[in-house]
């Protein structure tokens, strides 16, 4: 994996230290929690990329696992994942769209996880609670026998996102030019180039993940990212998370 220095993470949002609130708990969610999940979707995402009730029911029926972070009785974060048998991080075997990521059938025999739909309520972003949900999820993957973790990250600085209810990220013409150059040439941007985007910077810093590819037409309706998704990979094992 490409090694970056602390200077490469300049401008990073605070990801917090250990959570100290006794009101926090992470639990596995089920169909009965769908009303709370839908409420969180409204708080986190623009209408074009929100999950609806039918989509959530389908994910549970496929056997996907969703963990929820509660602050007292309020659902403030979720992460979802499904298991599959991979054997190696071959890009050719990975889903090409978010829909494929989030609708892949759960496999009883597995060594890998697709992680998707990481939601944090805007009021809780940039806090230690974010790390708590991420690392609780990683611990669950390891306990369930996963050695590989794959996911995809939006890159909203490609076009910028000024939806102040959900997020506010300035467009970066330089970042867009870099991505367009690599897409046109069939190459993969370096981690240093990718972490110019704040979401990619956050995931790289917190997860210590590798970025495998920038995928066009990944998430329909995500105008801020130009529909792009950046696939990441992390090797799991005892001692993970850091």
33 lies in some domain: no
Of the pLDDT bands very low, low, confident and very high (cuts 50, 70, 90), residue 89 is low
> pLDDT tens-digit profile of 55-79?
999 999 999 999 999 999 999 999 9
157 lies in some domain: yes
Judged against a pLDDT cut of 70, whether residue 241 lies above it is answered with no
Mean pLDDT along residues 208-222: 93
Give the residue ranges of DSSP H helices in 14-172. Answer: 34-44, 53-61, 98-102, 128-143
Ordered strands of the 210-215 beta sheet: 24-28, 65-71, 74-84, 112-120, 148-153, 229-235, 210-215
| Percent of the chain's residues with pLDDT above 70 | 85
CATH code for the domain in which residue 198 is found: 3.40.630.30
161 lies in some domain: yes
226 lies in some domain: yes
Q: Which pair of tokens denotes residue 165? A: 């209810």
> pLDDT tens-digit profile of 7-41?
443 444 433 444 445 578 999 999 999 999 999 99
Task: Find out whether 12 and 59 touch, Cβ atoms under 8 Å.
Answer: no
What is residue 219's predicted lDDT score, i.e. its pLDDT?
94
Q: Give me the number of domains the chain comprises.
A: 1
């Amino acid at each position: 994996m490409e090694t970056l220095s602390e200077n490469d993470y300049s401008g990073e949002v605070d990801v917090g230290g250990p959570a100290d609130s006794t009101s926090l708990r992470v639990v596995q969610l089920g169909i009965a929690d769908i009303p709370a999940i839908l409420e969180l979707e409204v708080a986190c995402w623009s209408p074009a990329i929100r999950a609806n009730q039918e989509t959530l029911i389908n994910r549970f029926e496929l056997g996907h696992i969703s963990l929820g972070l509660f602050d007292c009785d309020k659902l403030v974060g979720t992460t979802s994942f499904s298991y599959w048998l991979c054997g190696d991080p071959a890009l050719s075997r990975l889903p090409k769209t978010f829909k494929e990521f989030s609708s892949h059938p759960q496999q009883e025999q597995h060594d890998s996880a697709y992680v998707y739909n990481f939601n944090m309520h805007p009021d809780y972003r940039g806090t230690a609670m974010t790390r708590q949900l991420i690392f609780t999820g990683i611990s669950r993957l390891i306990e369930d026998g996963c050695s590989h973790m794959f996911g995809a990250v939006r890159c909203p600085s490609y076009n910028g996102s000024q939806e102040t209810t959900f997020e506010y990220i300035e467009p970066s013409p330089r970042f867009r030019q870099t991505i367009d150059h690599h897409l046109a040439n069939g190459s993969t941007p370096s981690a240093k180039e990718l972490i110019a985007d704040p979401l990619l910077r956050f995931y790289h810093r917190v997860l210590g993940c590798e970025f495998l590819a920038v995928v066009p037409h990944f998430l329909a309706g995500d105008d801020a990212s130009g529909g792009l998704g950046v696939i990441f990979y992390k090797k799991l094992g005892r001692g993970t998370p850091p």
